[in-house]
């Protein structure tokens, strides 16, 4: 069993399992797989040569922040408009929340966003069943988030296998050293040629507060060979520079961009400072 799960994550897991059963009631797993396999191959996640990237997130609400800018127009067209804005600002990928109850998301948001941009789109949700990876691919997703703490080892392995079998990238997320150790063990069985990113989420799942020092405390323990992604609480260009100097290759930024008066300008500034921070941290050659 998964250990040390906060009530929030447990509630999200239970709701996600109900949604997975509804998807399977709609059509069988192999029918979903057939639909996914006829889709055009998804775009790959391509790191920038300057060593630092942004995954910009579209979300209209969150349990910690409440309703965000644009929540009054939480629609698929608005999600697509945001995705285009982020792509033009230099995002390497777009994350789209599809969890409907606490984050105001939907697969329709993801589908229209994916149709509107050429960079890969990530399904951000609390996935528990391979059918949810398949429906993400059917909707146009090129990647999925997997939360180690929420999944048993065999479930995590099955989700990895499904995603990578469809040519999708995986962002696998840890909250602490214990999660990261389980993640590292799981990566030992993952196709080395597949694209996998390892995320560290600085949110405390009990209080839902951000504990940014988590990012710096865990950074030295990130598994070698996998781009590290810093998640939660990143709001400024200086934040981007700091995590880049700590060894992260990617920042996932959502709330700050949704709140910004000029999200494209903020994204560009975070990218520039993150890449400067990466250069400062690089060893002299």
In tens, the pLDDT along 138-170 reads: 999 999 999 999 999 999 999 999 999 999 999
Those residues with Cβ within 8 angstroms of residue 119's Cβ, 6 or more apart along the chain or in another chain = 43, 87, 91, 92, 93, 94
Record the pTM: 0.93
Identify the three-state secondary structure at position 232. coil
Reported as a single tens digit per residue, the pLDDT across 88-130 is: 999 999 999 999 988 999 999 999 999 999 999 999 999 999 9
Helix or strand run (H / E) with residue 124: strand 121-124
Longest dimension (CA), the chain: 57
Domain positions in the chain are 7-281
Q: Which CATH number does the domain 7-281 belong to among 3.20.20.70, 3.30.360.10, 3.40.50.2000, 3.40.50.300?
A: 3.20.20.70
Residue 175 is given by DSSP the state: S
Q: Is the pLDDT of residue 16 over 60?
A: yes
């Amino acid at each position: 069993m998964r250990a040390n799960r906060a009530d929030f994550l447990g509630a999200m897991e239970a709701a996600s399992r109900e949604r997975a059963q509804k998807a399977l009631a709609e059509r069988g797993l192999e029918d979903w797989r057939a639909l996914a396999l006829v889709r055009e191959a998804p775009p790959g996640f391509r790191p920038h040569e300057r060593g630092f990237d942004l995954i910009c997130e579209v979300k209209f609400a969150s349990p910690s922040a409440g309703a965000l800018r644009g929540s009054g127009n939480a629609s698929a067209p608005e999600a697509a408009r945001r995705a285009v804005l982020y792509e033009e600002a230099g995002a390497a990928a777009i994350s789209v929340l599809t969890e409907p109850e606490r984050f105001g998301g939907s697969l329709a948001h993801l589908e229209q966003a994916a149709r509107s941009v050429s960079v890969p789109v990530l399904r951000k949700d609390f996935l528990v069943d391979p059918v949810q990876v398949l429906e993400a691919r059917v909707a146009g997703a090129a990647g999925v988030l997997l939360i180690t703490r929420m999944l048993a080892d065999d479930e995590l392995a099955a989700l990895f296998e499904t995603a990578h079998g469809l040519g999708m990238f995986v962002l696998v997320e840890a909250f602490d050293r214990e999660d990261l150790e389980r993640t590292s063990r799981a990566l030992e069985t993952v196709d080395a040629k597949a694209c996998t990113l390892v995320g560290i989420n600085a949110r405390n799942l009990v209080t839902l507060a951000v504990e940014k020092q988590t990012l710096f405390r865990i950074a030295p323990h990130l598994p070698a060979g996998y781009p590290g992604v810093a998640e939660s609480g990143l709001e400024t260009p200086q934040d981007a520079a700091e995590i880049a100097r700590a060894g992260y290759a990617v920042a996932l930024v959502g709330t700050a961009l949704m709140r910004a008066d000029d999200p494209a300008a903020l994204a560009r500034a975070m990218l520039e400072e993150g890449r400067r921070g990466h250069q400062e941290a690089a060893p002299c050659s």
